[in-house]
Structure formats: structure tokens, C-alpha cells
């Protein structure tokens, strides 16, 4: 099975922060947890739902992406990690995305979000019924999103 960016303890700790914060803020578990952090991290990484998380910087960068996210954005996980998260949306939708992130940061969780996104190859899609929540990372709060529904948009 593929590893979470090398299956390091850092990767497992990021996965733990995402899982713990989702349980606390949303009130449900993303996966059925075990007593093994590495197994839980692997389950999150291979989950059949898109999971992305960015740090809390002024121009947030992705710190986590699972395989479903890499497939949807049509780039390797290693390329998603470190990418400014604003680039996941087309330029004309980045202000709307920033406003949504601000709203979610204020409340700690936002459900039912929909918005247009763009893959590396220019393919556009609409994410639907996404849940965005604040992640409590040791270095400061970030945010994560999970969704299972999206619609590919016609080529422009």
C-alpha cells in the first residue's frame, strides 16, 4: 500500500490532527480508528473521499493531500503538498474561496459548501456538499476540507 508521503511520524501526526479536529469540530469520525496511528494515517490517505488541508499562513499552503485529492487535481501528492491552496481554485473564484475560508475559520466548521476548482491540466470541476473545518496543528490552526461529490464542468 502507498505510504503517506513516506509514512513518517510527521505525516502520521498531520493525519492525527486532521482526524482529531474533525471529530471535535464536526462531531463525527472520518474513518473507523484503530489503536495504531500509522494504520489510521494510511486509512485517511486511501479514503474514498477527497481530503486536503492547508496551514494557517497569510497565503496558506497545502500540508496534506490524500490519494483522492491527487487524482482529482491530476497531480502527485508530492506536488500538492507545499502548493498555495488558493491555486486550487480558478483565479476568478479565489476571492469567493477566501471569503468561505474566513467564514469557516470564524465558526470552526462550515458544511454544505460548493465551489469551482481547477486541476493542474486546466480541467474545472464543482465541488459539492463539502465540509471545511479548523485543524488544530501544533504550529497553529489550519483548515481541512472533505467531500465526495463533484461535477466536471464543460471545457471553457
The answer, as to whether pTM is greater than 0.85, is yes
Beta strands in 30-155 (DSSP E): 50-54, 62-65, 109-118, 124-137, 140-147, 149-152
Tell me: the pLDDT tens digits for 36-45?
Answer: 999 999 999 9
Tell me: the pLDDT tens digits for 113-128?
Answer: 999 999 999 999 999 9
Instruction: Delineate the domains of the chain, giving CATH numbers in brackets.
Output: 9-152 (3.30.450.20)
Interatomic CA distance for residues 79 and 9, integer angstroms: 20
| Position 18 pLDDT exceeds 50 | yes
The predicted pLDDT at position 2 comes to: 33
Higher-confidence position of 105 and 131: 131
Amino acid at each position: 500500500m502507498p505510504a503517506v508521503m513516506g509514512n513518517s511520524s510527521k505525516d502520521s501526526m498531520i493525519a492525527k490532527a486532521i482526524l482529531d479536529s474533525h471529530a471535535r469540530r464536526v462531531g463525527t469520525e472520518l474513518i473507523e480508528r484503530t489503536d495504531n496511528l500509522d494504520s489510521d494515517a494510511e486509512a485517511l490517505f486511501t479514503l474514498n473521499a477527497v481530503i486536503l488541508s492547508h496551514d494557517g499562513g497569510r497565503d496558506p499552503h497545502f500540508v496534506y493531500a490524500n490519494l483522492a485529492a491527487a487524482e482529482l487535481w491530476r497531480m502527485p501528492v508530492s506536488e500538492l503538498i507545499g502548493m498555495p491552496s488558493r491555486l486550487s481554485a480558478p483565479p476568478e473564484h479565489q476571492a469567493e474561496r477566501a471569503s468561505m475560508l474566513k467564514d469557516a475559520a470564524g465558526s470552526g466548521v462550515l458544511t454544505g459548501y460548493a465551489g469551482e476548482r481547477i486541476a493542474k491540466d486546466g480541467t474545472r470541476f464543482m465541488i459539492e456538499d463539502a465540509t471545511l473545518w479548523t485543524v488544530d496543528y501544533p504550529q497553529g490552526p489550519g483548515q481541512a476540507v472533505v467531500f465526495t461529490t463533484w461535477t466536471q464542468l464543460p471545457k471553457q
